[in-house]
Amino acid sequence: MNRVNKYFFSSFLTTFASLFATLFLIMSIVFFIQIARITSYIEISFGELIKLYVFMLPQILLFTIPISFFVSVAMSFFRLSKENESTVIFTLGQNPKKIANFFLSVSFILSAIMLINSLVVMPIAEHLNDRFIEYKKTKLSLNIKPSEFGQKFGDWMVFIEAQNDNNQTAKYENIVMYNISDEGEKLITSLSADIVNNNSNLELLLGSGKMYTINPKLWHISNYDSMTIRTLMQGGKDDEYSFKDYWAQSLKSDKRAKDLSIYVLVALFPLASVLFAMSFGIVTYRYEKGIIYFGIFGVLFVYFALIMVFAKQPFYAIPAIFALTFIGSLIAFKKKVLNKY
């Protein structure tokens, strides 16, 4: 790194640090609000709150770092142009193409890191987050309290009239369970029940009672002496997970395809837009001082609007949007910077 590139990079880092800290704080507050919603149906400690935040950290970084990089490159060069430093450097013979190559290299490294974050780290973090929440939900099912509404066991709403502390008898008395699905409604009543954790499966052992099956065409009532309702306990250490399988679902799932487009294109945004940022930042301040703000917001709006419109077609959207943006930035840089300096 020569002295000129080092000087430009130092100016960029100063702007990037302040902007990234601001965006990171705002995004963190938004995600903490999402975590707060989770606490409405599970109980978590302060340490578990931090764990959930760490699981969401890769997603926060994905959306803050690329945008901060683009804006910081533009604003740092604009500040130097305002003080005529960039003009003097180019007048003394420094080739802007060399500076552009340097920042292209930086943006390439950053985009590569963001791609690893979005394609590998984020799916794993999402899986761990979902598994942790499901584990907490299942753990909560082990502590069903009597005379409280809104409690769940798997997909069943549960109401318990009384609880016995005597280990010689069933733990719960007078159980009512309700479930609704596409097949209809089901209502189960039981005189007694126990909850057992059997090899990572929760089993609700019901004593004698009745089951009502209700749908538009048929009502069915049956008696039973015993019944076992099972629900799989998520979050076991032996769960297998592959981020390759995660992204393979993009061939079948519109949501996963949309996620793939968004995550990859946001990760590639620094590389696609860095020359746009330099084009907006390197200006003759007296005549072009207002263009930077329109340029920054214009590129951000168009890029992310294209992502939203074509996100469901990742295998076409990713190469097309990236190529269109990168070629556009090359043309803008050549017209606004190289032709002048």
Instruction: Tell me the domain boundaries of the chain.
Output: 3-138+243-338, 144-232
Phi, psi at 93, each rounded to 5°: 110, 0
Highest mean pLDDT among 112-121, 213-222, 239-248, 287-296: 112-121
pLDDT in tens, 251-300: 888 889 999 999 999 999 999 999 999 999 888 777 666 688 899 999 99
The answer to whether 264 and 316 have CB atoms below 8 angstroms apart is no
The two tokens of residue 33 are: 């609000």
- 96/154: higher pLDDT: 96
Lowest mean pLDDT, pick from 89-103, 123-137, 220-234? 220-234
List the one residue out of 130, 9, 125, 128 whose CA is nearest residue 62.
Answer: 125
Question: What are 201's strand-pairing partners?
Answer: 198, 232
For the ranges 111-120, 163-172, 260-269, 295-304, which has the lowest average pLDDT?
A: 163-172
Q: Is the confidence at residue 141, as pLDDT, over 60?
A: no
Residue 57: what pLDDT?
94
- Residue 339's H or E segment, with its range, is none
pLDDT in tens, 314-330: 999 999 999 999 999 99
Alpha carbons 261 and 316: distance in angstroms, whole number: 9
If DSSP states are collapsed to H, E and C, what string results for 198-248?
A: ECCEEEEEECCEEEEEECCCCEEEEEECCEEEEEECCCCCCCCCCHHHHHH
**Is residue 8 within 8 Å of residue 99, measured between CB atoms?**
yes
Residue from 132, 141, 153 nearest 234 by CA: 132
Supply the pTM of this predicted model. Answer: 0.75
* pLDDT for residue 38 is more than 80: no
Contact 307, 261 (CB under 8 A): yes
